[in-house]
Amino acid sequence: MGAFSYFPQTEEDIRVMLERIGVSSLDDLYADVPADFIYKGEYDLPSAMSEQQVRDFFEGLAAKNTKLKVFVGQGAYDHYVPSVIPYITSRSEFLTAYTPYQCEISQGTLRYIFEWQSMICRLTGLDCANASMYDGPTAAAEAVRMCVASTKKRNSVIVSARLLPHVIKTIQTYAKYAGINVVVTDKVAEEVAEGVLDLAGVIVPSINRFGIIESHLGLADLVHQMGALLVEYCDPSALAVVKTPAEWGADIAVGDGQSLGIPLCYGGPYVGFMACTSALMRKLPGRIVGQTVDASGKRCFVLTLQAREQHIRREKATSNICSNESLMALWCTVYLSLMGPQGMRQLNELCYEGSHYLHDALLATGQFERVFDGEFLKEFCLKPLCDVQKLQQALLDAGYFAALQTEDGYVTFCVTEKHSREELDRIVEIVKSVK
Amino acid sequence: MKYYDKLIFELSKPGRTGYSLGDSLVKPANDGIKKTTHGSSFADLIGESPIWRETALELPEVSEVDVVRHYTNLSQMNFGVDTGFYPLGSCTMKYNPKINEEIANLPAFTGLHPLQPFHTVKGALAVYAGMEKALAAITGMKHFTFMPCAGAHGELTGLMLMREYHMSRGDLARTKVIVPDSAHGTNPASAAVCGLEIVVVKSKEDGLVDVEALKPLLGPDIAGIMMTNPNTLGLFERDIKQIAELVHGCGGLLYYDGANMNPLLGVVRPGDMGFDIMHLNLHKTFSTPHGGGGPGSGPVGVADKVVPFLHIPHVSGFHGNFGIILRAYAYILMLGREHIKLAGKLASLGANYIKESLKDCFKLPIPTVCKHEFVFDGLLEDNGVSTLDVAKRLLDYGFHAPTIYFPLLFHQAIMIEPTETESLETLDAFIAVMRKIAEEAKADPELLHGAPHTTPIGRPDETAAARQPILKY
Amino acid sequence: MSKIAEGLLYSESHEWVKVDGNVAIIGVSDFAQSEMGDITYVDMPDVDDEVTAGDDFGALESVKTSSELIAPVSGKVIARNDELENKPELINEDAYEAWIIKVEMSDTAELDALLNAAAYAKIAE
């Protein structure tokens, strides 16, 4: 094989460099490696492809995916993606930059993170936010750790059973190895009131996995009386219209920014967010950007409160997190800048309209039974009276991913502002046809 | 780079919009829905209830062109790999190929919901299968999980697997993990998050783990050892065979921190060195872009004996960062079995070349052949000029500074990693500038104390930022 | 050369102790503050917390580092210098004025393990 476009070194260049170093071949640079560790022979990889071959290869794989219209949520929402966003996020000064440790040449990154932090605070109503986490579920797990770290000698956390299953699983995973006692329950307030646990924190959903908007009247007071912290897991898109964590009296808010215009992308990359009251600021994990001035008085931004982080505090750090989801935070920041308060409001109205239209029309087919009475925004669950397998297949055949079966045996639907009346009517027609 | 001082909130004016949405999904069938105005609660629409938001949501009201200009101007105050040389040690800032971006943006991939039935996502599943096979071939590990979203996340996952292995054998006393004193901060931090205690093993004068210091640390309470190889000084831990025997001998497992995998790409496989669990940083070794701090991906690979536990830790929401995995897969296919053989070697070539070219101006504590990176301990004749001053002055010359003040073993550490995607001309330009800075240190140290001078801002007051934090607009 | 105040006892980890009856008033030495540079935050225990000699009871933070505070004696925290919450720089200004916590000692014999000013001077060069 000849020259490779990612390796600029010519034969001559290599010769010059070897000479400066004082060795005669590239292999000499590995003379200190035990000989039997040096891999002999060919790696079991395909032969190097050309760009066009790579394109063809992935087009081939892409063709093996079925193109479907998505009418399911459960933690990944098919919202409209404004055309502007990918043009901003693919700018190479953003895309190919590293963590902004050298702030004098990273003001771009630092400023958008500051804007992201500010917007997360406005959405949640809380005082401070970090630069992002991996995703909503890991942010929830870190919030649980933060509760234990912030309350002395307490090691138990109550987790609402109505959080999404993958959120609960992630919390349980982190808690298991940290030795944190997790109690998953449907009756959160009752469990708190029992007062038997060494309670550090309680985590509840803003909108639960059935799509119902929960009321947490009195919960924050109860939790605080027990000396514990309240965490709320939220959909940031919905926070434009539903009561905020701050309004409920929560201490910490977490969730996933995927619903802020990030493509579904088979589950990632998404972006977790975490916000808290000012009293908990120094317990926040992850990177934080702060405002300051330079020597000539110019406003500028830097990574701050770094003494909490792994590269300084090592095993006593608030978390081990290093790389987070910075570019996705930019994605969301641009999204929120474009949407503004009007857009976020209108979007939620459209979701509400659409989901209620579909919900009522589906009930009218007689193929489902109503389960919940509470208010919902875009997602809802119904109890199927028809054959679920046949229903799902009929929908798939028509190009719709809908009626996902939940672990309780319900089927779930989600309608967003991307969808049209025609599509909703078509779904209803298909449902009617299932025997 | 020009100083642009706006924040998006400062461009806001009531009545401006930057979005485009339809008016109604379902009209006229449902025209009981009233049109509402910004500022009023959803309660006006639906009816009173404690579940609706009360405080008005304040977000910028900006037109599309202003959003585009604002973020374009912000981007022009940033430095990326595409801008210039970025020799950050342990970060592997290699070129991010654009074919990766094209592949990752194919709608047939970006439109997939993570909970779709498997038979509708055969292409996505083939990506995971293909990547696992390729990474297994490259690393010598058996199977991989792709759930971790970053290197530190992979470390955490790997340590969870280490604990699962021991717990399955009823070996509950293994609560400690050994970490070299040169380790990245993420190693002890990950161990702490995983409920393990750290035991530090010292390095010798030559920068390598001290095997004699390791021996007394081994015992039935050791879950394993975390190692980076080459280590954070860019040196190959040549006693790794003996270290593996010792740690396995006491019943522990070996964890490989893949942050420094780059020089081994196409040369050595961690699995062949005796490692049982490892993570890779796709956003380092496998060319996916750093994004200003993520998204990354930290797949974890395991040897046979750990395979039964791979599915146990559920460390993230769905299937990991699929978009990043796609990019890495495209990169591996472009490299192929032919070019991969040169990747690691060319990375080591560049690092050694810079080291030899500058060792007469900078202190080189460990003069032996390095791999992909090496450490200087400040200027030979510093004249009161610190590593920080040198780093800041480099910015004036259009280079990103190397990693500074890490590893902690050397007080004026400058860790340089060029990667294999840099030309000889770039390396020579960097060398020339470093020599110039060494001269400036002797002739005009004040110039360096005050650097950078040509960037949009000068050195920030970080003390004020930490003492009186302003974390939002 | 860092300042060393007379009449105080010192630990090897650079904390100072002023003995006031049964109470130990604890701070960090001038050497410690100059090593840290600008202190940006002091992580302190709460009143009524227990501290144990040899264990850490908090930390000093600067922009780029953090340093554990090691308790020179055991006992119960009876007071905490809340001024340091918003003005951590008081320690940089005068390390011997800016006390951090006051501890009601559980075992005054622990004071015997500490260094006097002369002995401390040898390690705080």
More confident residue, A361 or C4: A361
Establish if B384 belongs to a structural domain. Answer: yes
Contact across the interface for C40 and B405, Cβ inside 8 Å: no
Task: Say yes or no: B460 contacts chain C, CB-CB below 8 A.
Answer: no
Chain A nearest-CA residue for C43: A282
Query: Which residues neighbour B321 within 8 Å (Cβ) at sequence distance 6 or greater?
Result: A268, A269, B149, B295, B296, B297
DSSP state of A41: S
Contact across the interface for B78 and A337, Cβ inside 8 Å: no
Residue B73 sits in the same domain as residue B113: no
Measured at the CA of C113, the angle between CA C110 and CA C117, to 5 degrees, comes to 120
Residue B300 sits in the same domain as residue B367: no
Residue with tokens 């239209």: A357
Residue B326 sits in the same domain as residue B420: no
pLDDT beneath 70: ranges in chain B: 26-41
- How far is the CA of B469 from the CAs of A124, A278, B459, in angstroms? 19, 10, 17
Residues of chain C with Cβ-Cβ distance to B467 below 8 Å are 40-41, 88-89
Contact across the interface for C64 and A306, Cβ inside 8 Å: yes
The nearest CA of chain A is from the CA of B144 a distance in Å of 16
* Contact (Cβ atoms closer than 8 angstroms) between residue B348 and residue B262: no
| Structural domains of chain A, ranges and CATH numbers in brackets | 11-54 (no CATH), 69-79+340-433 (3.90.1150.10), 84-333 (3.40.640.10)
Residue with tokens 């550090």: A200
DSSP state of A160: E
Task: Tell me which of A5, A320, A335 to substitute to probe the interface with B (most B C-beta atoms closer than 10 Å).
Answer: A320
For residue C59, give the H/E element and its range: strand C56-62
3-class DSSP state of B231: coil
* Contact (Cβ atoms closer than 8 angstroms) between residue A209 and residue A406: yes
3-class DSSP state of A61: helix
Contact across the interface for C40 and B466, Cβ inside 8 Å: yes
* Contact (Cβ atoms closer than 8 angstroms) between residue B135 and residue B144: yes
Q: What is d(CA A367, CA A431) in angstroms, rounded to the nearest whole number?
A: 7
Has residue C12 got a pLDDT over 50? yes
DSSP state of A34: -
Residues of chain C with Cβ-Cβ distance to A312 below 8 Å are 64-66
CATH 2.40.50.100 fits C9-123, yes or no: yes
Residue B294 sits in the same domain as residue B378: no
* Contact (Cβ atoms closer than 8 angstroms) between residue B21 and residue A350: yes
3-class DSSP state of B133: helix
For A262-276, b/e burial (b = at least 16 CB within 10 A) is: bbbbbbbbbbbbbbb
Residue B315 sits in the same domain as residue B168: yes
Residue B203 sits in the same domain as residue B307: yes
Spatial CA neighbour of A208 closest among A142, A161, A171, A175: A161
User: Would you write out chain A's pLDDT as a tens digit for each of its 435 residues?
Assistant: 579 999 999 999 999 999 999 999 999 999 999 999 999 989 999 999 999 999 999 999 999 999 999 999 999 999 999 999 999 999 999 999 999 999 999 999 999 999 999 999 999 999 999 999 999 999 999 999 999 999 988 999 999 999 999 999 999 999 999 999 999 999 999 999 998 889 999 999 999 999 999 999 999 999 999 999 999 999 999 999 999 999 999 999 999 999 999 999 999 999 999 999 999 999 999 999 999 999 999 999 999 998 888 888 888 887 988 889 999 999 999 999 999 999 999 999 999 999 999 999 999 999 999 999 999 999 999 999 999 999 999 999 999 999 999 999 999 999 999 999 999 999 999 999 998
Q: Where are the alpha helices (DSSP H) in A233-325?
A: 245-248, 310-313
Q: What is the CATH number of the domain that holds B223?
A: 3.40.640.10
The nearest CA of chain A is from the CA of C107 a distance in Å of 24
Q: What is d(CA B51, CA A375) in angstroms, rounded to the nearest whole number?
A: 9
> Dihedral, CA atoms, A290, A293, A298, A300, nearest 10 degrees?
-20
Look up residue B171 and give its two tokens: 């070996």
* Contact (Cβ atoms closer than 8 angstroms) between residue B222 and residue B246: no
What is the interface pTM, i.e. ipTM, of the complex?
A: 0.97
Distance from first CA to last CA of chain C, Å, rounded?
6
Q: What is d(CA A280, CA A277) in angstroms, rounded to the nearest whole number?
A: 6
Q: What is d(CA A193, CA A22) in angstroms, rounded to the nearest whole number?
A: 74
Contact across the interface for B467 and C88, Cβ inside 8 Å: yes
Number of H helices, E strands in chain B: 14, 10
Q: Which of residues 204-263 of B touch A (CB under 8 A)?
A: 236, 238, 240-241
Contact across the interface for A288 and B95, Cβ inside 8 Å: no
Q: What is d(CA A134, CA A268) in angstroms, rounded to the nearest whole number?
A: 9
CB burial of residue A279 (10 Å; 0-12, 13-18, 19+): exposed
Q: How many domains does chain B have?
A: 3
- How far is the CA of A191 from the CAs of A197, A201, A234, A251, B375, in angstroms? 9, 12, 22, 19, 55
Residue B327 sits in the same domain as residue B420: no
pLDDT value of residue A1 = 57
- Tell whether the torsion through CA atoms of B147, B149, B150 and B155 is positive or negative: negative
Give strand pairing partners of A183.
Answer: A158
Q: What is the CATH number of the domain that holds B400?
A: 3.90.1150.10
pLDDT value of residue A263 = 98
Q: What is d(CA B176, CA B194) in angstroms, rounded to the nearest whole number?
A: 11
pLDDT value of residue B42 = 74
- How far is the CA of B203 from the CAs of B181, B278, B374, C5, in angstroms? 7, 22, 16, 37
Task: Say yes or no: C76 contacts chain A, CB-CB below 8 A.
Answer: no
Out of B45, B62, B319, the one facing A340 most closely (by C-beta) is B62
Contact across the interface for A322 and B151, Cβ inside 8 Å: yes
The nearest CA of chain B is from the CA of C108 a distance in Å of 32
Q: Where are the alpha helices (DSSP H) in A314-387?
A: 326-364
Q: What is d(CA B303, CA B224) in angstroms, rounded to the nearest whole number?
A: 14
Residue B187 sits in the same domain as residue B209: yes
Out of C41, C46, C49, the one facing A307 most closely (by C-beta) is C41
Spatial CA neighbour of B294 closest among A312, A108, A330: A330
Task: Say yes or no: C64 contacts chain A, CB-CB below 8 A.
Answer: yes
Contact across the interface for B467 and C64, Cβ inside 8 Å: no
Residue B420 sits in the same domain as residue B315: no
Contact across the interface for C61 and A307, Cβ inside 8 Å: yes
Those chains having 3 or more beta-carbon pairs within 8 angstroms of chain C are: A, B
Chain C nearest-CA residue for A283: C43
- Chain A residues at the C interface, defined by Cβ less than 8 Å, are 152, 282, 305-307, 312-313, 316
Establish if B460 belongs to a structural domain. Answer: no
Residues of chain A with Cβ-Cβ distance to C46 below 8 Å are 152
> Dihedral, CA atoms, B29, B31, B33, B37, nearest 10 degrees?
130
Residues in chain B: 473
Look up residue A35 and give its two tokens: 């000989």
* Contact (Cβ atoms closer than 8 angstroms) between residue A355 and residue A379: yes
Residues of chain A with Cβ-Cβ distance to C44 below 8 Å are none
Size of interface B-C (CB pairs under 8 A): 16
Residue B294 sits in the same domain as residue B430: no
Contact across the interface for C65 and A282, Cβ inside 8 Å: no
Residues of chain A with Cβ-Cβ distance to C69 below 8 Å are none
CB burial of residue B355 (10 Å; 0-12, 13-18, 19+): buried
Backbone angles phi, psi at A395, to 5 degrees: -65, -45
* pTM as predicted: 0.96
Residue B37 sits in which domain range? 1-78
Contact across the interface for A343 and B21, Cβ inside 8 Å: yes
Contact across the interface for C38 and B405, Cβ inside 8 Å: no
- How far is the CA of C114 from the CAs of C12, C34, C82, in angstroms? 8, 21, 26
C87-105 confidence digits (pLDDT tens) = 999 999 999 999 999 999 9
DSSP state of A31: T
Chain B nearest-CA residue for C88: B467
Spatial CA neighbour of A332 closest among A76, A117, A95, A99: A117
Contacts of B403-407 with CB under 8 Å at 24 or more apart are B403/B88, B403/B89, B403/B90, B403/B91, B405/C64, B406/A311, B406/B89, B406/B90, B406/B232, B407/B182, B407/B232, B407/B233, B407/B375
Residue B282 sits in the same domain as residue B352: no
Size of interface A-C (CB pairs under 8 A): 22
Give strand pairing partners of B302.
Answer: B143, B277
Contact across the interface for C63 and B405, Cβ inside 8 Å: no
Out of B3, B79, B124, the one facing A266 most closely (by C-beta) is B124
Residue B311 sits in the same domain as residue B245: yes
Task: Tell me which of C38, C39, C92 to substitute to probe the interface with B (most B C-beta atoms closer than 10 Å).
Answer: C38
Establish if B470 belongs to a structural domain. Answer: no
pLDDT value of residue A320 = 87
Contact across the interface for A8 and B422, Cβ inside 8 Å: yes
Look up residue A156 and give its two tokens: 């138990």
